[in-house]
Amino acid sequence: MFKFTTRTLRLALKRNYTTSASGNLPVTNALKGWREKLKDAGVEDTDFNLKCIVSHVLKKKFNTVPDDFAQLEFNSSQLSDFERFLEARCARMPLQHIIGEWDFMDITLKTAPTVFIPRPETEEFVRLVIENYKNDKQVNMLEVGCGSGAMSLSILHRLPFVDAIAIERSKAATALAWENAKLLGLQERFKVYNHTMEEDKYMPDELKDKKYDLIISNPPYVKTEEFQFLHPEVVVYENLNALDGGSDGLRVARLVFELACRYLRSGGKLWLELGNEHPPLVKTIMNLKYQGRLKFVDSYYDQYKRERFVQIEKV
């Protein structure tokens, strides 16, 4: 039978916990007070957060854990993990970093501190791209700024005829994307280069003669002035290079336009996820600056009815 260590026993007594007949602690007892602490710390959706952390501690799939946690128990080390993770969450560490992995579309990705956490609306973007390419036979894709690999790897997972190359400025993200590719068994169709796209050095030397059918990117697009409105999870724990799009949010996207002129084959497409003010601006930039080179095809809305995604064609 499991026995509490002296430390956790002391903790259990201090918190007025009641143990079960097995000597373990019912999860419902361990939860006491944490909902309020999370709320006080400004964490939204506390029930979801608690259930994610309980599932993670018990190494169970989220959807197999009952909402009322009935019959679930923590042993001693699980209880101390649970408390440690909740303390981190009260300090507004993102759930994804606490848990160390996150589901995106139908794949599970490892996460790492400083690497951009894939967002739910990016799943919508990826679905849109998949929908447009699902009947193709062969697609050479390039991703600019792949982060954890979420977009490329979920497309590769769904569409077996796609090959993908990604460039990424962060060393940590480059390593993580490669690790995720291997964990998902996609390393044969995926390559990632640690490269910062810059004016006049858009691609690494070894790729400078290659052309692509499709370029995708979710570039940093937050306007610098909007940083003051972001949650602590983002400002404190995420890498600002993954977010900062300069004064109009399009600093990196403008580099992607130039890259697309050089590296898309004629008729190839550039798909971008951007902020909701950007699609009309991008359309204007295409008309004013890229006539005869790039053509604005269409824009698309996310589930919150915000115009967020654009499709551009190489003329």
Ligand X SMILES: C[S@@+](CC[C@H](N)C(=O)[O-])C[C@H]1O[C@@H](n2cnc3c(N)ncnc32)[C@H](O)[C@@H]1O
Question: What are 239's strand-pairing partners?
Answer: none
Q: Give the nearest distance from C-beta 105 to ligand X in angstroms.
A: 11
Note whether 151 binds ligand X by CB under 6 A: yes
The catalytic residue among 218, 220, 257, 309 is: 218
Q: Which of 163, 274, 158, 156 has the alpha carbon at shortest distance from 211? A: 163
User: What single-letter DSSP state applies at residue 92?
Assistant: T
Q: Does 105 bind ligand X (CB under 6 A)?
A: no
If binding means CB under 6 A, how many residues of this protein chain bind ligand X? 23
* Nearest distance from C-beta of residue 313 to ligand X, angstroms: 21
Asked if 270 contacts 298 with a C-beta cutoff of 8 angstroms, the reply is: no
Q: Report the alpha-carbon distance of residue 118 to residue 129 in Å, rounded.
A: 16
The token pair at 301 is 């809305």
Stretch that binds ligand X, among 33-41, 156-164, 167-175, 293-301 (CB under 6 A): 167-175
* Options 139, 242, 286, 294; binder of ligand X; rule CB under 6 A: 242
Judged by DSSP in three states, 300 sits in strand
Task: Indicate if 116 belongs to the active site.
Answer: yes
Q: How far apart are CA 286 and CA 121, in angstroms?
A: 24
By CB under 6 A, tell whether 276 contacts ligand X: no
| Residue in 26, 219, 220, 279 annotated catalytic | 219
The owner of tokens 């399009």 is 250
Could you say whether residue 249 binds ligand X (CB under 6 A)?
no
* Residue 156 and residue 189 in contact, taking contact as beta carbons nearer than 8 Å: yes
Active-site residue (options: 85, 116, 190, 309): 116
Selected from 28, 46, 80, 196, the binder of ligand X by CB under 6 A is 196
Query: Least separation, in Å, of the C-beta of 151 and ligand X?
Result: 5
Q: Residue 160 catalytic?
A: no
Quickly count: other Cβ atoms within 10 Å of residue 250's Cβ: 24
Catalytic: 4? Answer: no
Is residue 122 involved in binding ligand X (CB under 6 A)?
Answer: yes
Residue 201 CB: number of other CB atoms within 10 A? 11
Give the residue from 288, 165, 293 showing the smallest Cα distance to 217. Answer: 165
Kindly state whether residue 78 participates in binding ligand X, applying the rule CB under 6 A.
no
Chain residues binding ligand X by CB under 6 A are: 116, 118, 122, 144-148, 150-151, 167-170, 173, 196-197, 218-220, 241-242, 252
- As annotated, the active-site residues are 116, 218-219
